[in-house]
Copies of this chain bind each other. A is one copy, B any other.
């Protein structure tokens, strides 16, 4: 592929864990050319062959599309600056995820809207892993909304960002495991519920509890789903198979359950199904896994960018 045929891409916020992954993916992407990447404290350094500049010096006009991995609360301002300069944008922060201005970029679900979007809000990591598992059941009316859906999720620490905090030190996290934002306090919960309602018609209750894992990357979600009717494992797997059999970035397990090692460093969500013995009413337990930095962030952003640009969807990605 000729360098001249590469799409010029700008990256905002390239020094956090997500931004670093994004820069790594885009600099190896055969259809993209990173024309600038910003970072504040690391400005002047070279990463993956790109010279980092301060955001005030970002040459927006040189890019055709801008991807932002800036922090929540900061990102919107600069994304809007890129939009004002006439650029298409993918925002990896939470700033536009609940906004009607943006298309929610859960690629497998909203692909046609992503293709036409000027601004894509890249989904949160936890919702990505939950929604791809729950939506097929919700859309078929299989979730019993008179009982609660319970999700216990666990994430590697890169999900908590790179800003130094005592509770994220190796000496604190290693050999530890803890729940946080317990009692439906997590910021990504409204995004999850809103999308589950909009795309799946779900109006029931849901209890979401994230945990901090002593690993660098990866999310595993254990999703307890009350059902409106009995569904054995194979039938449930068949539903996922019918929905996702042409999707390169969704791996439906057959008789197995995923763990982090099935997904790290890949732009993939893995979905497994287990029947539940010794309970009186029908239910299933789903296990889903993603790499929080890839399908949960930078990888899905590239996937969305590919869709927006009309490139093959997995260009530059390993699914």
Contacts and interface: CB of A to CB of B under 8 A. Distances in A.
A220 B177 contact: yes
Contacts of A40: none
A220 B150 CA distance: 17
A277 B177 CA distance: 23
A216 B166 CA distance: 14
A261 interface: yes
A284 to B, nearest CB: 8
Contacts of A182: 222, 257, 274, 285, 287
A164 B175 contact: no
A216 B171 contact: yes
A171 to B, nearest CB: 5
A158 B169 CA distance: 10
B173 A276 contact: no
A187 interface: no
Interface of A: 17, 28, 147-148, 150, 152, 154, 156-158, 162-166, 168-179, 182-185, 189, 205-207, 209, 211, 213-218, 220, 222, 224, 226, 257-261, 264-265, 274-281, 283, 285, 287, 318
In the A-B complex, list the 9 residue pairs whose CB atoms are closest, starting with the nearest. Answer: A178-B259, A164-B164, A170-B173, A152-B152, A182-B274, A183-B274, A205-B279, A184-B277, A170-B170
